[in-house]
A and B are shown apart, each in its own frame.
Chain A
Amino acid sequence: MTNLLTINKLDVQFPTRHGTTYAVQDVNLELQAGEVLGLVGESGAGKSTIGNAIINLLEPPGQVTGGEILFQGRNLRDLSDEQMRDVRGKKIGMIFQDPQTSLNPLITIGAQLVETIIKATDLTGSAAVDKAVDLLKSVGITETETRLNAYPHQFSGGMRQRVVIALALAGDPDLIIADEPTTALDVSIQAQILDLIKSLCRERQLGVIIVTHDIGVIANIADRVAVMYNGAVVETGEVRQILTAPTHEYTQSLIAAVPRGDLKVDRFTSVDYIEGGAQTHRRIDLDSHWLGETVQANPLGEAITIDGLNKTFVLKKALFKKNRVTLQAVDNVSLSIQAGESFGLVGESGSGKSTVARLVAGLHQGDDGHIKIFGQNVARQERSNDVTAARRNLQMIFQDPYSSLNARMRVLDIVAEPIRFYKTADSEKKVRQIVCDILDHVGLGSGAMLKYPHEFSGGQRQRISIARALASRPKILICDEPTSALDVSVQAHILNLLKDLQAELGLTMLFISHDLPVIRQMCDRVAVMRHGAICEIAQTETLFDTPQHAYSQHLLDLMPRMDLFGSAPASLAGPP
Chain B
Amino acid sequence: MAEPTTQSRWQRFLDNDVTWSFLHTPSAIVAACVTVIAVSAALAAPWIAPYDPFDPSQISLWDGKLPPAWVEGGSSAYLLGTDNQGRDMLSTILYGGRLSIVVGFVAVFLGMLLGVTLGVISGYLGGKVDAIIMRFADVQLTIPGILLAILINGIGRAILPIDMRDDFAIYVVIIAIGLTDWPQFARVARGATMVEAQKEYVQSARVIGLPGWLIMIRHILPNTLRPILVIATIGLALAVIAEATLSFLGQGIPPTTPSLGTLIRVGNEYLFSGLWWITLFPGIALVVLVFAVNLLGDWMRDALNPKLR
A and B touch in the complex (CB under 8 A): yes
Q: Which B positions have Cβ atoms within 8 angstroms of A? A: 1, 4-6, 20, 199-201, 203-210, 219, 222-223
- Closest 10 pairs (CB-CB, A-B): A404-B200, A398-B200, A403-B199, A455-B4, A406-B201, A418-B208, A396-B207, A403-B200, A408-B222, A361-B207
B223→A406 contact, CB < 8 A: yes
Inter-subunit contact B207/A395 (CB<8 Å): yes
Q: CB distance A398 to B6 under 8 Å?
A: no
| Distance in angstroms between the alpha carbons of A398 and B219 in the assembled complex | 17
Chain B residue numbers with a CB within 8 Å of A406 are 201, 219, 223
Q: Is the CB of B200 within 8 A of A408?
A: no
- Contact mask for chain A residues 465-490; partner B; CB cutoff 8 A; 1 contact, 0 none: 10010001000000000000000000
Contacts A391-B209, A421-B209 supplied; 7 other A-B pairs, CB < 8 Å: A358-B203, A363-B203, A403-B201, A405-B201, A407-B223, A417-B210, A422-B209
Dominant SS among interface residues on chain B:
helix
Q: How far is the CA of A400 from the CA of B210 in the complex (A)?
A: 21
Encode A330-374 as 1/0 by CB contact (under 8 A) with B: 000000000000000000000000000010011100000000000
Contact of A417 among B6, B208, B223 (CB under 8 A): B208
Q: Report A-chain residues with C-beta under 8 Å of the C-beta of B206.
A: 362-363
Given known pairs A276-B1, A391-B209, A406-B219, the reply for A450 and B6 (CB within 8 Å) is yes
Chain B residues near A363 (CB-CB < 8 A): 203, 206-207
- Contact of B223 with A394 in the complex, beta carbons under 8 Å: no
CB distance from A199 to the nearest CB of B (A): 39
Residues of B within 8 A of A391 (CB): 209
Nearest to A400 among chain B residues (CB) is B200
Q: Is the CB of A457 within 8 A of B1?
A: yes
Q: Which of A34-61 contact B (CB under 8 A)?
A: none
Interface-centre pick from A17, A275, A408 (highest chain B CB count, 10 A): A408
Residues in A lying within 8 Å of B, measured CB to CB: 17, 274-276, 358, 361-363, 388, 391-392, 394-396, 398-400, 403-408, 417-418, 421-422, 447-448, 450-451, 455-457, 465, 468, 472
Which of B206, B208, B223 counts the most A-chain CB atoms under 10 A from its CB?
B208
Nearest Cβ on chain B to A156's Cβ, whole angstroms: 24
B201 pairs with A404, CB closer than 8 A: yes
Say whether A395 contacts B200, CB under 8 Å: no
Identify the closest chain A residue to B20 (Cβ).
A17
- Give CA–CA (A276, B206) in the complex, Å: 37
The residue in B206, B207, B210, B223 that gathers the most chain A C-beta atoms within 10 A of its C-beta is B207
Complex: A17 Cα to B20 Cα, angstroms: 10
Residues of B within 8 Å of A448, CB to CB, are 4
Residue of B nearest to A407 (CB): B223
Q: Taking the nearest CB of chain B, how far is it from the CB of A418, in angstroms?
A: 5
Task: Give Cα A408–Cα B199 distance, bound, in whole angstroms.
Answer: 14
> In whole Å, how far is A312's beta carbon from the nearest beta carbon of chain B?
16
CA distance in complex: A234, B6 (Å)? 33
* A417 with B205: CB separation less than 8 A: yes
Given A403-B200, A404-B201, A407-B223: A421 in contact with B208 (beta carbons within 8 A):
yes
Are B207 and A394 neighbours in the complex by a CB distance under 8 Å? yes
Closest to B208 in A: A418
Q: B residues within 8 A CB of A456? A: 4
Provide the bound-state CA to CA distance between A456 and B208, in Å.
23
User: Complex: how many Å from CA A252 to CA B4?
Assistant: 28
Name the contact of B209 in the complex, choosing from A17, A274, A388, A457 (C-beta under 8 A): A388
Q: Which residues of B contact A455 (CB under 8 A)?
A: 4-5
Task: Output the nearest chain B residue to A414 by Cβ-Cβ distance.
Answer: B201
Interface contact B204-A396, CB-CB below 8 Å: yes
23 contacts between A and B (CB under 8 A): A274-B1, A275-B1, A358-B203, A362-B207, A363-B203, A391-B209, A392-B209, A395-B207, A396-B204, A399-B200, A403-B200, A404-B199, A404-B204, A406-B223, A407-B223, A408-B223, A417-B205, A417-B210, A418-B209, A421-B208, A421-B210, A448-B4, A468-B204
